Structure 1
Amino acid sequence: MTIGDHLDELHGLPAYDFPGRDAPVADLPDPDAVAWRVRGEVYDSEEDWPAAFARFCETVDTTRVKALIVGAWEEAYDSSCEPVVNALTGARDRFPALRAVFVGDMVMEECEISWIHQGDITPLLDAYPELAELGVRGGTDLVFPAVKHAALRRLVMETGGLPAEVVRGVAASDLPALEHLDLWLGTPDYGGDSEVTDLEGILSGARFPNLRHLALRNSEMQDAVAAAVAAAPVVARLEELDLSMGVLTDEGAGALLAGQPLTHLARLDLHHHYLSEPMRNRLAETLRPAGVELDLDKDDADEDTESDGTVWRYVSVGE
């Protein structure tokens, strides 16, 4: 599967495309009523992203804007998000109400997820101390050193391969308000070189005291992640656990069932899996009577078997 749809909301607000350079700008919504998507074109762009953003700032009352979605920038397959980050940080004084930013809202026709070149996005946290949500799509060249931020409640990283240094940076960060963490770990083929030990700072529960929703998904090592989660202290305080979109087999699901109780969860998401019917039944019989919402949709998970018996299984989102 690839990314086929743009974000339809951010920070609880519906996404709205700021008109292109040659489009009329009459009858725009109230600045605080939508999540504004500002974008250019990846190929043959006639207006680069900073120019589109400058036009946005001239047109909309930015003092009321709550959420910004960064769409395509020119040559995103070969150019980092640095000009985007620089434009946003340089405009910090114009966005006193900004609470949510998502960088890289591109679909496959614009740029495949693992072709999107990112960069260091943490200057956004320095520039916006009241930011509550930060999201990013694309792991190539993504940089996220350990940071301190008192207000961030939601952090999302959608990738076909999340670099180990980024995972370790997140795990070592001081984010006391963080409630929702969503990491798409991906595969080594697309830069996802992390190991389970890189997650220790997250799984210990010590650094994120308010974490209630944890997603460690889209992973080739989903069985190992599940085994680590089964004994992780952080799980006891979670309301939702998401291990979906990866190569989860009976081995990982068995480890979950053999570990600490999960009956306190409101929801366990395992969709896109490689579980046998008996294992699916065990999960359902254990968790659903306790009121756990359990997603066991096989989704698009499929496997290939070579003539020599080798079985290939795939994460949901790779290239």
Structure 2
Amino acid sequence: MTINSHVTTFDGLPVVRFAPDLALPADPSAVAWRVEAADYDSSPQELTETLEALLAAVPAGSIRALVVGQWGSPYENPAPVDLLVSLAPRLTGLRALFLGEMTFEECEISWIRHGDVSGLLTAYPALEVLRVRGADGLTLRPTRHPALRELAFESGGLPAAVVRAVGESDLPALTHLELWLGVDDYGRDATVADLAPVLGGDRLPALRTLGLCNTDLADEVAAAVATAGVVPRLTALDLSMGTLTDVGGEALLAGQPLTHLRRLDLRHHFLSEELAGRLVARLAGVDVDVDDARKAEEYDGRVYRYTMVGE
């Protein structure tokens, strides 16, 4: 499966694609503004011009949420971090940013080029939500950010250095962390060992929702979660979109209690019907999602299990 549709809401706001001839809403702060180049092979200058047009039409301080789509040949040109950083003195009301919100037709997730996104956190100290799609060339430096409450990296393969940087950052307000770890074929060199600081939770005192998703390490992640210090304070745990098998399912059953959770998301999995049923029965008071059961495929004597989002 690939990402084939755009988000329609972001940070609780309806997404509105900006165009110069758009009839503006009465309250520009009540929508998430989507900006993008017209085509995947447009010049990056087009996105710059679109952002300038948005700022000319809408009071910059009223822009609360921004969704950045294709920026022109995103498989070659890195995300416009420098441009967004330069606009920080004008975008004083920005609280939520989605960088790289593209479908597979615009750019496959593993092809979306990035660079160092750390500057966004430095330039926007009041930012509360940062979501990044794509991880080709992605880097992040450990940082302290007092306001960030949601952080997500969507990828087909997440670099280990990014995972470690998240774990080494001080994010005292962070309640939601989502890491699409991906597979090594699409750039993942992160291991479960790299998740140790996150799973320990010492630098994430407010964390309540943790997603370790879309990975062929799902069984190893489940085993680590089974003893992780951060788990007792969570209200939701997301291990969806990966290759979870009965090995990982048994680890969850044998590990620390999960009955305190409100939700456990395991959809798109390779659990047997029997094991999935045992998990649901054991966690009777938890919303356990075991939808989208998958079957392994076999070719030339080898067994293959696929994550939900890859290339």
Where on the TM-score scale, by shorter chain, does this alignment land: which range? over 0.9
Q: Which residue is equivalent to 1:298?
A: 292
- The verdict on how the C-alpha distance between 1:92 and 1:307 changes in structure 2, with shifts beyond 3 A counting, is closer
With the length of structure 2 as denominator, give the TM-score of the two structures.
0.97
The answer to whether residue 34 in structure 2 is matched with residue 37 in structure 1 is: yes
Instruction: Tell me the amino acid that sits aligned with residue 64 of structure 2.
Output: K
Query: Aligned pair 1:244/2:216, yes or no?
Result: no
Selected match of 1:160 from 130, 134, 156: 156
Structure 2 CA distance for partners of 1:29 and 1:42, relative to 1, 3 Å: farther
Which residue of structure 1 lines up, in the alignment, with residue 132 of structure 2?
136
**Within 2, Cα distance between the matches of 1:257 and 1:25?**
53
CA contact (8 A) 1:302 1:314 kept: no
Alignment partner of 2:58 out of 57, 60, 72: 60
- 8 Å Cα contact 2:44/2:71 also seen in 1: no
Summarize the alignment of residues 109-258 of structure 1 with structure 2, pairs less than 5 Å apart: 109-258=105-254
What letter corresponds to residue 254 of structure 1 in structure 2? E
Letter in structure 1 aligned against 2:245: T
The C-alpha deviation readout for 1:215-238, integer Å capped at 9, x for no partner, is: 001011100000000000100000
1:283 matched to 2:279? The reply is: yes
8 Å contact from structure 1 (residues 180, 213) kept in 2: yes
- Cα distance in 1 for partners of 2:251, 2:46 equals 49
**Contact 1:31–1:62 (CA under 8 A) maintained in structure 2:** no
How far, CA to CA, are the matches of 1:38 and 1:29 in structure 2? 19
Structure 1 residue runs of 5 or longer lacking an equivalent are: none
In the alignment, the residues of structure 2 paired with residue 92 and residue 306 of structure 1 have an alpha-carbon distance, to the nearest angstrom, of 52
Trace 1:16-95 onto structure 2 (pairs within 5 A).
16-19=16-19, 24-40=21-37, 41-45=39-43, 48-81=46-79, 84-95=80-91
Q: Does 1:8 align with 2:8?
A: yes
TM-score by length of 1: 0.94
Measured on the aligned residues, the alpha-carbon RMSD in Å equals 1.3
CA deviations 1:78-101 (Å, max 9, x no partner) are 1101xx211211111212211000
SS in structure 1 at match of 2:151: strand
1:200-251 C-alpha deviation (Å, 9 max, x unpaired): 0000011100000000010111000000000001000000000010010000
Specify every segment of 5 or more residues in structure 2 that has no aligned partner in the other structure, as ranges: none
CA distance in 1, matches of 2:215, 2:300: 26
Note the C-alpha offset of 1:15: 0.6
User: SS state of the match for residue 241, structure 2?
Assistant: coil
> What's the offset of the Cα at 1:281?
1.3
* Structure 1 residue 27 displacement after superposition: 3.8
Structure 2 counterpart of 1:293, one-letter code = D
| Paired residue type of 1:32 | S
**Post-superposition CA distance 1:143-176 (Å, at most 9, x none):** 1111110000000110000001111111111101
Contact 2:42 2:71 in 1 (8 A): no
User: 72, 79, 93: which one pairs with 1:97?
Assistant: 93
Question: Shift of the alpha carbon at 1:316?
Answer: 0.5
Measure, in 2, the Cα distance between the counterparts of 1:101 and 1:156. 11
Contact 1:154–1:179 (Cα < 8 Å) also in 2: yes
Q: Deviations over 1:164-194 (max 9, x none)?
A: 1111111111101000000000000010111
- Rounded Cα–Cα distance in structure 2 between residues aligned with 1:184 and 1:102: 15
Letter in 1 for 2:296: E
SS at match of 1:57: helix
Quick one: distance in 2 between partners of 1:189 and 1:156?
A: 21
Aligned residues: 310
Secondary structure at the aligned position of 1:157 is classed as strand
The structural deviation recorded for 1:45 is 4.6
Provide the rounded CA distance (Å) in 2 between the counterparts of 1:14 and 1:92: 23
- Counterpart CA distance in 2 for 1:307 and 1:110 is 34
Cα gap change, 1:27/1:127 in structure 2, threshold over 3 Å: closer, same or farther? Answer: closer
Contact 1:217 1:242 in 2 (8 A): yes
